[in-house]
Amino acid sequence: MEIRELDQLTDSELLDMYAFPSGPWVRMNFISSIDGAATVDGLSGGLGDEHDQRLLRVQRLPAHCVMVGSGTLKAEGYGAMRMSHADQEWRVRHGLAAHPTLVVVSNRLSVEPEDAMFVEAPVRPVVVTSEAAPVGKRERLADVAEVVVAGERSVFPVRVVEELKARGLTHVHGEGGP
């Protein structure tokens, strides 16, 4: 196996490397330093550079949805899940929606309906939570996102995948952080 630097690979080659297999699939992506650190000053973004951002963009391209925990979304300052014009064209040419659906996983619903990830979203996000989450908060979030209950006291991962599959979101790109 030949080892090549990331900047020696085209986006097309990277897409081939990170292609989803047929059928439902969940892929998780996170960054760490060579000594195993997952954050710098409490954020994972401090570990990355433009190469990491490119890889993240390419990994999102073929995904039906991008799944992120609410803690990571807030800590890293995620906004709406919006693709560039060129990436939208690529997705549409490949039979996908122009933008992937943002899936927010939050057991306690620590997000607000007025957060940019909701109000600026080009595609209605999905919020996955548990029955233990406050009913009033679920109702408020339902104005800006599809709220899905996937567990009683906590979010159950198998139920999350089942719920996403039921919505046609079978190629899941998960992102992890602090």
Least confident interval from 29-43, 59-73, 112-126, 150-164: 29-43
pTM over 0.85: yes
In a domain, 165, yes or no: yes
Burial of 57 (0-12, 13-18, 19+ CB in 10 A): middle
For residue 125, give the CATH number of its domain: 3.40.430.10
pLDDT, position 35: 73
pLDDT, position 82: 94
In a domain, 9, yes or no: no
pLDDT, position 45: 60
* Number of separate domains in the chain: 1
Which among 175, 144, 163, 176 has a CA at the least distance from the CA of 63?
175
In a domain, 101, yes or no: yes
Give per-residue pLDDT as tens, 60-87. 999 999 999 998 898 888 899 999 999 9
Instruction: Collect all residues with Cβ–Cβ distance below 8 Å to 99 and sequence separation of at least 6.
Output: 81, 82, 83, 88, 91, 122, 123
The domain of 58 spans 27-175
Give per-residue pLDDT as tens, 42-53. 655 665 668 778
Question: Using CA atoms, how far apart are residues 88 and 65, in angstroms rounded to an integer?
Answer: 14
pLDDT band at 135 (very low <50, low <70, confident <90, very high): very high
